[in-house]
C-alpha cells in the first residue's frame, strides 16, 4: 500500500513540477511582453523609431491618441488574422486610433517580399490598403504558387495603371522603403511577426478580436 | 501482493526485468512529450509566441488556424495523450498487469497518424516548421514503436 502511494504520489508530483516549470519558462520567454496593460506609463514619450513617419502606410486618424505600429509579413498566416482584426477595428475605432503598417518580410517565405513590393507599388497609386487587403484575404491561394500572376490580377481589379505599376516595381526606393521598415524592426528587436507596438510599447499579441479591442480600449480610457 | 507479483526480476508472467526498462523508456519519452505539449499550450493560453532558435516558424505554426481544433489548442490534446501514456506506465509499475499494454497500439497508432498529418500541414500548407511540434511528432512516433514492443513483451 505504501509503495502504491509512493508511486502515484511521485507521479502526480512530477506532473505538477513539469507544468510549473513550463509555465515559468513561458512567462520568462515573454520578457518585455509582460507589461501589456496600459498603465501609468501612458504618458511616456514614444521613441522616434516608433513615431509615424510621413512615408509610413497609415490608416485611421493621424491625430489619434493611440498609435499602433505593426510589423507584419504578407505570407505569415498569423499576420492574416491580425490584418483582418485591424480591418475590423479601423472601421470601428478609426477616429481614435492610427494604424501603421510596417514591412517585416521573413526570409522563410518565398513570395512575401514580392507581395510587399506589389503593395508598395499599389500604394504609389494610392491603393496600398486595397492591395494589402486583397493580398491577405487571398493569402492561402497565392502562397501555393504563381503569386506574381495573382498580384497582377489584383492590380487589374483595383484598376491600377499597369504601365505605371510595372515601372514603380523597378524603383529602388520601393525596396529601400521595405528594407528600412525591416531594419527598424530589427533595431527594435522584432523577431516574430506580427509584432505590435501600441504608443511606443511592445505588447503581447492579443489572441482574439475581442482581446485586441479591449487592449486598445485600455489605452483610450 | 497481487498474483502477478510486484518484483520485476522474479515475475515471469507479466514482465521481466527487460520489460521494466522498456516501460521506463516509454515513461521518459512520454514525459518529454508532456513537457513539450505543456509548453506549447502555455504559450497559447498566455498569448505568447513560442520562442524558437533552431528552426524558424514556431510563431507561424503556433498561430495558424491548424493549431487549434475549434477553441481547443492541438497541444492540449497532446497533454492528455502523454499524460495518459504516463498513467499507463505508472499503473504498470503499480500492478504489473500485462493487460495494460494490450490495447496501447490502438491509441498510439492514431496519435502517430495525427502527428503525421500535422507534419504534412506544416510542410505543405503552412510551409513553416516548428521545432516543438517536430519534437512532439518524434515522441509520438517513438511511443508508438515502444507500445508495440511492450505489447509483445507483456502480452506476447
pLDDT > 70: percent of chain A: 92
pLDDT of residue B53: 47
Q: In 3D, which of B155, B139, B109, B153 has the Cα closest to residue B20?
A: B153
Backbone angles phi, psi at B5, to 5 degrees: 85, 150
* Least confident piece of the model among A45-54, A161-170, B96-105: A45-54
Q: What is the mean pLDDT of chain A?
A: 87
Tell me what pLDDT residue B52 has: 54
A216 close to A97: Cβ distance less than 8 angstroms? yes
User: By the CB < 8 Å criterion, does A215 face chain B?
Assistant: no
**pLDDT surpassing 50 at residue A187:** yes
Residues of A in contact with B57 (CB under 8 A): 108
- Nearest by CB to A192, from B39, B59, B90: name it: B59
Residues of B within 8 A of A109 (CB-CB) are: 127
Q: Where is pLDDT greater, at A202 or A192? A: A202
Residue A152 burial (10 A CB sphere; 0-12, 13-18, 19+) = middle
pLDDT of residue B49: 58
- pLDDT (tens, 9 = 90+) of chain B, 156 residues, equals 444 444 444 444 445 678 899 999 999 999 999 999 999 888 777 656 565 544 555 555 665 666 777 677 888 999 999 999 999 999 999 999 888 999 999 999 999 999 999 888 888 776 667 788 889 999 999 999 999 999 998 876
The pLDDT of A139-158, averaged and rounded, is 91
Q: Where are the domains of chain A?
A: 51-220
Using 50, 70 and 90 to split pLDDT, how confident is the model at A56? very high
CATH class for the domain made up of A51-220: alpha beta
- Distance separating alpha carbons of residues B126 and B121, to the nearest angstrom: 6
User: Parallel, antiparallel, or unpaired for β B68-69 and B72-73?
Assistant: antiparallel
Level-2 CATH architecture, domain B17-154? Up-down Bundle (1.20)
Spatial contact of B11 and B3, defined as CB atoms under 8 Å apart: no
- How close is the nearest chain A Cα to the Cα of B43, in Å? 6
A7–B38 C-beta distance less than 8 A: no
Chain A residues with CB under 8 Å of B96 CB are none
Instruction: Give the one of B34, B47, B94 whose C-beta lies nearest to A8's C-beta.
Output: B94
Q: Mean pLDDT over residues A173-186, rounded?
A: 92
CB contact under 8 A, A77 and B65: yes
A48 Cβ contact list (under 8 Å, min separation 6):
none
Compute the count of residue pairs across chains A and B with CB atoms less than 8 Å apart. Answer: 77
**CA atoms of A52 and B99, how far apart (whole Å):** 67
Domain residues of chain B, as ranges?
17-154
Contact in structure between A128 and A168 (CB atoms under 8 Å): no
What pLDDT does B65 receive? Answer: 63
Q: A-chain residues within 8 Å CB-CB of B90?
A: 7-8, 11
Confidence at A149, pLDDT banded by 50, 70, 90:
very high
> CA nearest A60: which of A21, A92, A13?
A92
Beta strands in A13-137 (DSSP E): 57-60, 66-72, 97-103
A24 shares contact with chain B (CB less than 8 Å): no
Has residue A41 got a pLDDT over 90?
no
Nearest to A26 among B34, B43, B94 (CB): B43
- The confidence score (pLDDT) of residue B18 equals 85
The residue of A1, A29, A111 whose CB has the most chain B CBs within 10 angstroms, and thus the best one to mutate to test that interface, is A29
Tell me: pLDDT of A61 over 80: yes
Mean pLDDT across the stretch A55-63?
Answer: 91
Q: Are A105 and A141 in contact, with CB atoms under 8 Å apart?
A: no
pLDDT attached to residue B124: 78
Residues on chain B touching A189 (C-beta within 8 angstroms): none
| A199 φψ region: left (φ > 0), alpha (ψ -120 to 50), beta (else) | left
C-alpha–C-alpha distance, residues A143 and B13, integer Å: 57
> How far is residue A6's CA from residue B26's CA, in Å, rounded to a whole number?
20
Do A15 and B34 meet the contact criterion of CB atoms below 8 Å apart? yes
**pLDDT at res. A2:** 84
Query: Is the pLDDT reported for residue A39 higher than 60?
Result: no
Q: Could you count the other beta carbons within 10 Å of the beta carbon of residue B14?
A: 23
Cα–Cα distance measured from residue A124 to residue A160, given in angstroms and rounded to the nearest whole number: 10
From B47, B51, B83, residue closest to A204, measured CB to CB: B47
Q: What are the start-end ranges of the H helices in chain B?
A: 17-45, 58-63, 74-95, 99-102, 105-120, 131-154
Amino acid at each position: 500500500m505504501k509503495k502504491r502511494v509512493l508511486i502515484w504520489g511521485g507521479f502526480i508530483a512530477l506532473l505538477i513540477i513539469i507544468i510549473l516549470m513550463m509555465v515559468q519558462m513561458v512567462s520568462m520567454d515573454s520578457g518585455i511582453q509582460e507589461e501589456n496593460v496600459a498603465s501609468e506609463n501612458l504618458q511616456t514619450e514614444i521613441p522616434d523609431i516608433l513615431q509615424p513617419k510621413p512615408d509610413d502606410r497609415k490608416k485611421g486618424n493621424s491625430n489619434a491618441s493611440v498609435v499602433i505600429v505593426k510589423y507584419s509579413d504578407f505570407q505569415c498566416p498569423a499576420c492574416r488574422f491580425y490584418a483582418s482584426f485591424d480591418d475590423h477595428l479601423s472601421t470601428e475605432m478609426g477616429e481614435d486610433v492610427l494604424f501603421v503598417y510596417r514591412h517585416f518580410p521573413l526570409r522563410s517565405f518565398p513570395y512575401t517580399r514580392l507581395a510587399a513590393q506589389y503593395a508598395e507599388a499599389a500604394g504609389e497609386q494610392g491603393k496600398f490598403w486595397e492591395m494589402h487587403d486583397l493580398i491577405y484575404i487571398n493569402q492561402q491561394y497565392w502562397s501555393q504558387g504563381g503569386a506574381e500572376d495573382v498580384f497582377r490580377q489584383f492590380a487589374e481589379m483595383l484598376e491600377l495603371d499597369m504601365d505605371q505599376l510595372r515601372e514603380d516595381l523597378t524603383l529602388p526606393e520601393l525596396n529601400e522603403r521595405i528594407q528600412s521598415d525591416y531594419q527598424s524592426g530589427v533595431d527594435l528587436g522584432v523577431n516574430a511577426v506580427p509584432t505590435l507596438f501600441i504608443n511606443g510599447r511592445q505588447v503581447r499579441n492579443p489572441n482574439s478580436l475581442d482581446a485586441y479591442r479591449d487592449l486598445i480600449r485600455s489605452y483610450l480610457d | 501482493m497481487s498474483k502477478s507479483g510486484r518484483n520485476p526480476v522474479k515475475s515471469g508472467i507479466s514482465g521481466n526485468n527487460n520489460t521494466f526498462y522498456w516501460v521506463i523508456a516509454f515513461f521518459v519519452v512520454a514525459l518529454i512529450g508532456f513537457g513539450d505539449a505543456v509548453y506549447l499550450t502555455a504559450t497559447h493560453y498566455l498569448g505568447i509566441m513560442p520562442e524558437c532558435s533552431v528552426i524558424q516558424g514556431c510563431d507561424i505554426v503556433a498561430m495558424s488556424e491548424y493549431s487549434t481544433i475549434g477553441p481547443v489548442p492541438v497541444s492540449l490534446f497532446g497533454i492528455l495523450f502523454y499524460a495518459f501514456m504516463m498513467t499507463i506506465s505508472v499503473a504498470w509499475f503499480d500492478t504489473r498487469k500485462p493487460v495494460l499494454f494490450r490495447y496501447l497500439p490502438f491509441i498510439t497508432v492514431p496519435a502517430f497518424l495525427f502527428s503525421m498529418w500535422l507534419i504534412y500541414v506544416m510542410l505543405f500548407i503552412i510551409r513553416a516548421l516548428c521545432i516543438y511540434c517536430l519534437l512532439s511528432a518524434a515522441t509520438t512516433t517513438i511511443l508508438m514503436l515502444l507500445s508495440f514492443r511492450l505489447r509483445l513483451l507483456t502480452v506476447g
